[in-house]
Amino acid sequence: MSDRLKVLRDSVSHLGVVASEIDAKDYTASAYPSEWTIADTFSHLGSGAVIGERRFEDTIAQRESDPTFNTSVWDEWNAKDPAAQVTDCLVSDAAFLSSLEGATEEQRRAFQMMMGPIAFDFDGLVGLRLGEHVLHTWDVEVSFSPQATLSNDAANAILDSIQFVVVRTGKPTGETRNVTVRTSEPVRDFTVVLGVDSVDLVETQHEGAVDLEIPGEAFVRLIYGRLDTEHTPDSVDGDVVNDLRRVFPGF
């Protein structure tokens, strides 16, 4: 079992705990971001689990996926009431995890799934679900616990493949600049490379001081557009973070 799969299992378990602590009357309260409710966020994770499990099983079986399946799932989940969106999410979430964990080593080695022009191996698929799962779980949890953070294990696992997010969601500002970053828990060094029309992230060791020192989980949230001033650690340099918030506005 890959480390990412273990971290995903921990996140699935954590989402269940978070859900158990929410009163049903709060299912329609705002999540983070505020245009989604708590139930909307669960619905997104739940429908994503159904679609992900089907795509995974179709790929394992080497069969074509039904092109209408995704739309039918979204329609079904959009029609659910808020309580069903929450409770059904936990069921489909666990089912997708079980399907991933049940794959044989041979199936994992041979797995390759295309998503548009991008090919994902087994670990890549788990990483894709992990990033979505961990951040949306935080979207729910932080609405009730303002001091909520991502786990260190989750942050480390997401940082391993966060370049996928950076190059697709980073917004060039027209400025050419390198921003050196050192994360804690885990300790890792990165450089955010800003080009006139590009954004890149390179993991490389730095000697001495850096432009930004930040907890690993906060750096992940920054890249995912979830590090507003109210949820930024006091120790983090606000000026540098403000610059990077423009680069990573969220999606």
Q: What is the pLDDT of residue 1?
A: 41
Check if the beta carbon of residue 179 is closer than 8 Å to that of residue 118. no
Q: Where are the domains of the chain?
A: 3-148, 163-247
Q: Which CATH number describes the domain made up of 163-247?
A: 3.30.1050.10
For 54-109, how does the pLDDT look when each residue is reduced to its tens digit (9 = 90+)? 999 999 999 999 999 999 999 999 999 999 999 999 999 999 999 999 999 999 99
Q: Which two tokens stand for residue 135?
A: 């951040």
The pTM score is 0.95
Q: Which two tokens stand for residue 8?
A: 């995903």
CATH entry, 3-148, from 2.40.110.20, 3.40.50.300, 1.20.120.450, 2.60.40.420: 1.20.120.450
Interatomic CA distance for residues 78 and 120, integer angstroms = 28
Do domains 3-148 and 163-247 share one topology? The answer is: no
